[in-house]
Amino acid sequence: MFQLLRYYRPFKRNILLAIASNLLMSAFMVVSIPVLQPFLQILFQDAPQAPVAPPVRGWGFRHLEQQSTWFFHQLIAQHGREKALMLVCVFLILVFLGKNLFRYLSMYFLAPVRNGIVRDIRQKLVNKMLLLPLSYFSEERKGDLMSRISSDVQEIEWSIVGVIEMIAREPLVILGSIAFMAFVSPQLLLFVLGLMVFSGIIIGGVGRSLRRQSGSAQQKLGNLGALIEETLGGLRIIKGFNAEQWQAQRYLNENEAYAQTMIGLYRRKDLASPLSEFMGICVVSVLLLFGSAQVFAGNLTAATFLTFLYAFYNVIEPAKSLSGALYSVRKGMGALERVQEVLDAPIDIQDPENPLEMGMFQDSVEFRNVSFKYPNADKAAVSNISFRIPRGKMVALVGASGAGKSTLADLLPRFYDVQEGGIYIDGVDIRKMRLTDLRRLMGIVSQEAILFNDTVLNNIAFGAVEFDRAELEQAAKAANAHAFISDLPEQYETNIGDRGSKLSGGQRQRLTIARALLKNPPILILDEATSALDSESEQLVQAALDHLLTNRTALVIAHRLSTVQFADEILVMDQGRIIERGTHESLMQTGGTYRKLVELQAL
């Protein structure tokens, strides 16, 4: 719960105004209790003769009661019972008007707090997810993370932030009412408190498992989100393998488990109100018996006892609301813990404390004895890798799947950090650079065209704060994309759909190349972009890649070996190690693994 306090700091003014409104509302509510007594006196008593003189000065409820009785007797004597009753009613209306006005104002000032806190939590989650290393997402399910940022945050709003105004208001009302009850009859108040403590122990025992159950429910909801994400992303395979029923059964199992957990959760939550109401009526019934005995004994007047009952009601209703709020808080704590797990996740890849300032790329990129193993992996993905890429040259990585090619490409922009050895740009260890400075030197074109549900223009200019429209169109022309963009309904302003779904594979890839050309990076990381394309699209994309590779330092992952024949050096990898290296001609003459791979692709 204390973790939420940091989010309240930007809303100090609203919170102070809400507290002031709650205090005034509570004051009006407490005032409304003794105002009821003269109304009952006028209503139930015969018109008396006013005393000759007011009671002598004194202290205590008895004296206050005498003063009040004398005042209203005077009022009846001067204006008559009907007019006196009307004046009391007007006063009651004004008191309750003040009470409800300040009640509304307290909620008015808390509305920006409630929504602002939820907004800030969501934003912090997104900011943290953008900062977390890729290794974190390889361990977590995307659907579960989406559930935390949507349903878990929503649960926090409903269960914690939404009831915080109640927690801030109801205790003031309860304390004010108890103070009046203590003033009227301390003996009767002690009797009431004993009954309330007894009922509170019974009610409190019901909610102890809510927090644990809520966490389990949110976890199961995250599993549902993950399954939906997997289902939508893999529909082509699911249908192709006739696995609709199998996938539906997987979802049914998770859905049923979530439903059963929520049934138990709601049963406990829904028990709060009826149980507290039943315990409340038991307390009231015992109080009526005990209070009536006090009235019959002459220790209390009937009007005073009825006023005491009204004050007790003003304790019971807020106490019920407070009880329900505490149940909701327990339920929401499970969601808060899941959100906090993401916010507290360590960021392993960060800027150094004293980063070195980097100028223009001048000399080379060098891998020196680089080794790396993924978390929970049995063996290293790459082991003792060393090579150098001089400025303006191209080095290609070839080998079977799982050889470590993509791992080396991911280590260069520090998507992961090397565990042994180091990677150097112009002789500077990349771990001593700012991440933004390092990645500003690089452009990445992956095998899968990563596009966003936005316009063509915004996808090409992605990440660029400022850009020239003419330069953007020139980049599109160099990437052989301008022609098909011009044929789109709104040209560069056309929305390309989710992941570029409105475009063909070749068109999507050419947009990613245009994006890299516009950035104009000195270092290029290229995960062969033509391997999944048809022949015509491959020719267009390859021509665009030739533009992109001109005069650039490039690390290329090659799937089609024909595309890297002109690389300055080819590294043949197997099980995380370099087993052959050289130019295309020298490797073909050696007759080793590279030649066998080329001959296999030529079949």
Find the CATH number of the domain harbouring 493: 3.40.50.300
Is 112 a domain residue?
Answer: yes
**pTM higher than 0.75 for the full model?**
no
Q: Is residue 348 part of a domain?
A: no
Give the mean pLDDT of 436-453: 80
Print burial letters for 572-581: b (CB count within 10 Å at least 16), e (below 16): bbeebebebe
What are the structure tokens assigned to 14, written together? 């609203």
Q: Are residues 21 and 71 in the same domain?
A: yes
- Report the alpha-carbon distance of residue 95 to residue 362 in Å, rounded: 79
Pairing of strands 382-390, 577-582: unpaired
Nearest to 335 by CA among 223, 228, 212: 212
Average pLDDT over residues 52-60: 50
Same domain as 309, residue 279? yes
Based on the domain organization, do 436 and 523 belong to the same domain? yes
**With 0-12 CB in 10 A as exposed, 13-18 as middle and 19+ as buried, what is 451?**
buried
Structural domain contains residue 350? no
Domain assignment present for 88:
yes
Could you report the per-residue pLDDT of 344-394, keeping only the tens digit for each? Answer: 888 888 888 888 887 788 888 889 998 988 877 788 888 888 888 888 888
Structure tokens, 52: 């000759």
What is the C-alpha to C-alpha distance for residues 30 and 569, in angstroms, rounded to an integer?
A: 86
Are 18 and 165 within 8 A, CB to CB?
yes
Is the same domain home to 266 and 389? no
Average pLDDT over all residues of the chain? 76
Q: Are residues 291 and 390 in the same domain?
A: no
Same domain, 394 and 258: no
Nearest to 571 by CA among 552, 596, 593: 593
Residues 320 and 422 in one domain: no
Q: Residue 57: pLDDT above 70?
A: no
Domain-located, residue 226:
yes
Total domains in the chain come to: 2
**What pLDDT is recorded for position 9?**
79
CATH number of domain containing 200: 1.20.1560.10
Same structural domain, 298 and 389: no
Q: Say how far apart CA 279 and CA 273 lie, in whole Å.
A: 10
Q: How far apart are CA 44 and CA 68, in angstroms?
A: 15
Residue-number span of the structural domain to which 271 is assigned = 2-343
Residues 327 and 466 in one domain: no
Considering the domain architecture, whether residues 74 and 188 belong to the same structural domain is answered as yes
Amino acid at 130: L
**Domain-embedded: residue 526:** yes
Same domain, 368 and 225: no
- Among 287, 314, 343, the domain boundary falls at 343
Question: Is pLDDT at 47 greater than 50 in this prediction?
Answer: no
pLDDT at 61 over 50: no
Same domain, 552 and 435: yes
Alpha-carbon distance of 506 to 77, in angstroms, equals 98
Give me the helices (H) in 352-411, please. Answer: 405-411
53: pLDDT confidence band, cut at 50, 70 and 90? very low
Interval 292-344: pLDDT, tens: 777 777 777 776 777 777 777 777 777 767 766 766 776 677 777 778 888 88
Q: What is the pLDDT of residues 2-40, one digit of tens each?
A: 566 677 778 888 888 887 887 788 777 767 666 666 566
Q: 585 lies in a domain? A: yes
